[in-house]
Structure 1
């Protein structure tokens, strides 16, 4: 059994009016990956996309900070995270093993901005789809970061905040929290 944990800290909190934070744990046991994420103080009554990001070449991903705000609009948007965090890899949705990212089947925070997510994933299926997408079946969780995304549609975002993914706009993809995944034993 191999265990990983991420302490998830706020990102863009000065602009979105809440400081989202929480923890994520990942437990690999035989052919199962158990993912548990609990978040507090996220934007209430809002769907929150959540994923791990990383580099397909195995480079270690790091969390984005305000230093990644390349266009100096005060927001670190999804595109600006890529230089330090890599690309979106695996979603934490209703079926992470399918690696289907743009959709509306992610957790929704309650009125207090809390949500808890637990999913037991067939590891071999996830690894097979990961290999198709990124050329290796090794998830390398300790080289990844987790992002929590999503703000209410009525939050005023400047046009400079990029993040369109399919039919989903920057309100859906704006990062609100991030954590480095580390192996714990």
Structure 2
């Protein structure tokens, strides 16, 4: 049996980054595989874009961040400001989501038009095992999660108040540019 989920991914921080990133995601879950398809348009061109699903480990229903989450009033909704409504970063959409290895440089790169398409088939048991180690439950609860797309050019002027340092990656890498609520469709 397959369960299908979708997310309409809408712009975040568009007025500050100069482009309105948007797209769609489709996730198909069976007993053995999670197939992830994400297509994005109008992202900052020619750079890598981190993408993940975020949520609350306790199963609280995550919501998308909006301009209302700009707690410090700097005009940007940074990664830390999304946590109150969206929870924490959980599963990366990278070259091996099942490993749940977040900070690295193995995410999709947008083309010169700001487009990228991402498809990955993930072994669900390995993902659930690693998810349980990190969050205490094997249940991915996809319909309680949100998808974030991150990343702006290194040359974009960001105020010092924009937080987002993850290891050696600064706020240019982690700044959210689009977000979508995952919904079950069947």
TM-score (norm 2): 0.99
Q: Quick one: distance in 2 between partners of 1:135 and 1:32?
A: 20
SS at match of 2:16: helix
Gaps of 5+ in 2: none
Q: Quick one: distance in 1 between partners of 2:30 and 2:59?
A: 22
Q: What does 1:170-181 correspond to in 2, within 5 Å?
A: 170-181=171-182
| Number of residue equivalences | 185
4+ residue runs over 6 A deviation: none
Deviation at 1:155, TM superposition (A): 0.4
Q: Quick one: distance in 1 between partners of 2:45 and 2:3?
A: 33
Deviation at 1:132, TM superposition (A): 0.1
Deviations 1:31-54, CA, capped at 9 Å, x for gaps: 000000000000000100000000
SS at match of 2:80: helix
Match of 1:74 in 2: 75
Say whether residues 1:162 and 2:163 are aligned partners: yes
Match of 2:103 in 1: 102
SS at match of 1:119: strand
Match of 1:90 in 2: 91
Q: Quick one: distance in 1 between partners of 2:47 and 2:142?
A: 27
SS at match of 2:58: coil
SS at match of 2:163: coil
TM-score (norm 1): 1.00
Gaps of 5+ in 1: none
Q: Quick one: distance in 2 between partners of 1:124 and 1:183?
A: 20
Q: What does 1:124-143 correspond to in 2, within 5 Å?
A: 124-143=125-144
Match of 1:149 in 2: 150
SS at match of 2:182: strand
Match of 1:182 in 2: 183
Q: Quick one: distance in 2 between partners of 1:92 and 1:69?
A: 25
Deviation at 1:30, TM superposition (A): 2.4
Deviations 1:122-160, CA, capped at 9 Å, x for gaps: 000000000000000000000000000000000000000
Deviation at 1:66, TM superposition (A): 0.3
SS at match of 1:58: coil
